[in-house]
Structure 1
Amino acid sequence: MATLVAVALSSVMLPLAVTAPAVALTQLAADLNATVGEAQWVQNAYNVTFAAFMLAAGGLADRFGRRRVLVIGLVVFTAMATVIGLSSNIVVIDIARAVQGIGAAGIMTSGSAILADSFRGVARARAFGLLGTSFGFGLAMGPFVAGLMVNFADWRMVFLMNIAFAAVVLLLVRSIRESSDPNSTSVDWGGVMTFSTSLFLLSLAFVQGAEAGWLSLSAIGSAVGFVVFLAAFVLVESRVRRPMFDLSLFKRPTFVVVVCQPFTITFGFVVLLVYLPPFFQGVGGFGAAEAGALLLPLTLPVLALPMLAGQLAARLPLRVMLATSSLLIAGGSLWLMTLQPGQHWTALAAPLALFGTGVGSAFGVMDNAALSSVEVERAGMASGIFNTMRITGESVAIAGAGSVLATLSLSTLDLSFASPEQERTLAGEATQGRLETALGQFAAGDRQTALDAVSTSLTSAMHTTFLGLALLALAGAVVTFLVVKERELR
């Protein structure tokens, strides 16, 4: 029981580190006078390293011990949260967030592998159901708790609260039995470096595209660099004796579809968690606590449903469960196209709840399915691959959606009194909920016109994004139902 509680509690911190800063970012950026790009890297830096080092953390856990990597990851994660909470320099915060992502990778991969080694059969399904509930709790309560802390304390408390979680886990972790893969002899550092660099360049391409233009030298160069390093990663992985990313597994269609579920399940969820709070705080006119509370219809199902989904997984075909989850997400995305600035919360409760039901019903099922596709001795590797895809999807979602929203908003802005650079700044700041800063660049008599224009353009951009998420989820539902074979899961 102590093992399960320790892993579950440590896992709560990981989604909190994504969703809570999304609510606090508006105040953080204003307090530190950060630019749009600097503020965006508070989210991007964490997600890039989280995804990039997932495979390395899985390899290290298999070789040197899963409990050991869990402890190290926990210490690194909490230390960086402390640095962020005490710092007043945005560059230091961005760097600390990047290091914090490395610690998060150690926590996630080692925790999943510990559960896979400690439980079997129905007990394993229940354990991963609880793990899904833990992620759901972090996702569900992150915006709400962060909103309260920002309103009644300070944005710094959003990061410093991790100290309390870490203290409890460190007391429990000594009861976890150490485990490792006896066949693991080395870490694929070549794969780590090429993959990490490719993911960083992809995120940089999105940021530069929104700030400098999609045809700018920096955006195109970053995109080309991403392709080059991704190709180098594939080449490295095909030549090492024991790769961290076992490419042979990708010859199995079921495995491919299962590990790609985060792109259809989690992708859109993260977009809503990160970009709806600034929308509510900016053009919506709500406070931080209210913005967090408005997301509860979306997040509470993710807290409540994973345990039930874990139990249903023993009775229902996996492809049916995952395909149904994607269909619910598609329906919720389409329904969200009714979003308007300042509307009453009841108008959004139903579409957000439908979307959240789709996500919650998939959590607690995806992890177990991914780990069931390989031998238990390679659980760290399988966990690393699956969670790399999960966090890569989140990283791309956060970096890409922010850039797309800013670009779409800018494309429909037409202010006769504003320069192109002023319009670009207005669109970028609006996506982060910082309208007061953005409107300050205009004369007092022009600010209401600018506010009305950017409210309309950003809302239209959100609608287009929701349509894209619906199409992605619908495609995922069809592919999952047609491709996944139950007999190929252990």
Structure 2
Amino acid sequence: MAAELRAPASASNWVINAFMLAIAAVMAVAGALADRFGRRRVLAVGLLVFVAGNALIATAPAIAVVIAGRAVCGIGAAAITTAGSALLSNTYSGRQRSTVFAVFGTTIGLGLAFGPMLSGLAIAAVGGWRWLYVLYALVAVPPLVLLRRVLPRESPAAAGRFDMVGALVLTTALTAFMIGVSLGPDLGWLHWFPLTMLALAVAAVLVFTRVERTAAHPLVELNLLRVRQFRAVCLTVTLGAFGFVSLVFTLGVFLSVAHHAGALATGAMLLALTGPTLLVPLLIGRLAHRIPLRRLLTLSMLVVAVGCGWLALIGPGRPLGRTAAPMAVIGAGFGLSLTVLDGAALATVPADRAGMAAGVFNTVRLGTESVAVVVTAIVGTVTTARVGRSAAADLLAGRPAAGAAGVAGYAAGWQLALGVVALLCLGGAGCIWQLLRPALPAAEPRPVVAAPERPVDQLN
């Protein structure tokens, strides 16, 4: 794509960033729109927007049009995610609901495990990147056709005027935040533009909080953030961003430097990390309704902590195969949470606000994943400074000039980061256990026993 459109590397990065920025910026707004105008309608609009975005990319004459198309796809994906999960939450209950959301988690795992590989194979099969986006557009057509046949018409769940002011302020906050964290690694964190964007994001969040407290029909019910179960699932997805998602982006470099892994071996080891996220939700889904949420989420983070700690102990030069088991443990722990997270988040609100809860939860998910990737980039920068820029360049290029000391220094930085993540997940598991503790029953008032009356003359 970059070669055909003669795009610089900085512009090519925004092919990814534009999608992430758009989907994160409008996720909460899309959820509120689904509550206000109907989940089926918003889902249909989201699919149409997704088709339009991919069609725009497939016919793009320049990289700027590709970036715009990716942003359009992100907006469509936000509507699909929030409206779709709200529909699932309100359509199923009990054991069926657990199974459905386990399948939903499996689809997330499928994308993580096989998405890049399948996209690469598809490009080779269909004859170029343009046809890949045509394929993406065609994939969205069958759901559009089935919507009218399978899902009944519904009345809007939420009443009242749509909170347009809140939507604009929140979108401004999230857009500024995503731009800030996207440009920070490239321009430097002390550069005026990322700092300005992050400051704007903070200011907009403060304004949004004030607007929502006074709105007659707020976009986001701020009381949702006081619900312990919702806070627990948000904490879980935050820890998962650091314990799993960030590793997907960094382990390739770590394995190539510390264990001299080639491209094929690195791909196989990463499959050990991502593969369990596909299998575990399928295996646990039928049992999830029998396991208390408190135990399942706590166990999930404990398993991730064990995997990260185990991987941190495997130093450079060890056989590459030894990294497979701890990576599979990390993936299995993350997969446990995928089984129930979305359903648990939506279970904290009434049915008419399921879209709002889905929007807020997925905004937290995407925002923390972006932060985790940025923190990982900072760790890489610190490690580079530690071993020296020239030595780091030699390491990444696989040149022998770096020497054993350079390899050890580079690997030590990542091992330290893995150890910190393990401790975070361990502490987070304790917080989740505490947040989901059963509410104590209200104490019954003790009976009041009337004191025996005494004559007045006996009181002195």
1:20 alignment counterpart: none
Mapped contact 1:309–1:361 kept (Cα < 8 A)? yes
1:108 alignment counterpart: 81
Give the match's secondary structure for 1:214: coil
C-alpha distance in 1, partners of 2:379/2:124?
Answer: 26
The correspondence for 1:375, drawn from 334, 343, 350, is 350
Of 29-38 and 317-326, deviating more is: 29-38
- Percent identity, please: 35
2:160 alignment counterpart: 185
C-alpha distance in 2, partners of 1:219/1:452?
Answer: 37
Of 449-458 and 209-218, deviating more is: 449-458
Change (3 A) 1:42 1:217: same
The correspondence for 1:241, drawn from 216, 228, 251, is 216
Q: CA deviation at 1:57?
A: 0.8
Q: CA deviation at 1:56?
A: 1.1
Q: CA deviation at 1:266?
A: 3.8
Mapped contact 2:110–2:278 kept (Cα < 8 A)? yes
Mapped contact 1:326–1:358 kept (Cα < 8 A)? yes
Amino acid in structure 2 at the alignment position of 1:410: T
Query: How many pairs does the alignment contain?
Result: 437
Alignment of 1:163-178 (within 5 A): 163-174=137-148, 175-178=150-153
Give the match's secondary structure for 1:305: helix
Scaled by the length of structure 2, what TM-score is found? 0.83
Give the match's secondary structure for 1:374: coil
C-alpha distance in 1, partners of 2:257/2:132?
Answer: 20
Amino acid in structure 1 at the alignment position of 2:11: E
State the Cα deviation string for residues 66-91 of structure 1 (Å, max 9, x = none): 11211211122233234334546433
Q: Provide structure 2 residue ranges, at least 5 long, that are not aligned to the other structure.
A: 441-460
Larger radius of gyration: 2
Amino acid in structure 1 at the alignment position of 2:359: G
Of 212-221 and 157-166, deviating more is: 157-166
Of 104-113 and 206-215, deviating more is: 206-215
Q: Provide structure 1 residue ranges, at least 5 long, that are not aligned to the other structure.
A: 1-27, 437-446
Q: CA deviation at 1:387?
A: 1.7
1:14 alignment counterpart: none
Alignment of 1:39-78 (within 5 A): 39-78=12-51
Mapped contact 1:210–1:406 kept (Cα < 8 A)? no
C-alpha distance in 2, partners of 1:89/1:461?
Answer: 40
2:332 alignment counterpart: 357
The correspondence for 1:463, drawn from 408, 415, 419, is 415
C-alpha distance in 2, partners of 1:32/1:449?
Answer: 36
C-alpha distance in 2, partners of 1:45/1:280?
Answer: 29
C-alpha distance in 2, partners of 1:461/1:79?
Answer: 44
Mapped contact 1:408–1:457 kept (Cα < 8 A)? no
Pairwise CA RMSD of aligned residues?
3.4
Scaled by the length of structure 1, what TM-score is found? 0.78
Alignment of 1:191-202 (within 5 A): 191-202=166-177
Mapped contact 2:229–2:345 kept (Cα < 8 A)? no
Is 1:304 the counterpart of 2:290? The answer is: no
The correspondence for 2:70, drawn from 91, 97, 108, is 97
Change (3 A) 1:389 1:182: same
Amino acid in structure 2 at the alignment position of 1:52: A
Amino acid in structure 2 at the alignment position of 1:169: P
Amino acid in structure 1 at the alignment position of 2:384: L
Change (3 A) 1:281 1:131: same
Mapped contact 1:258–1:484 kept (Cα < 8 A)? no
Change (3 A) 1:49 1:166: same
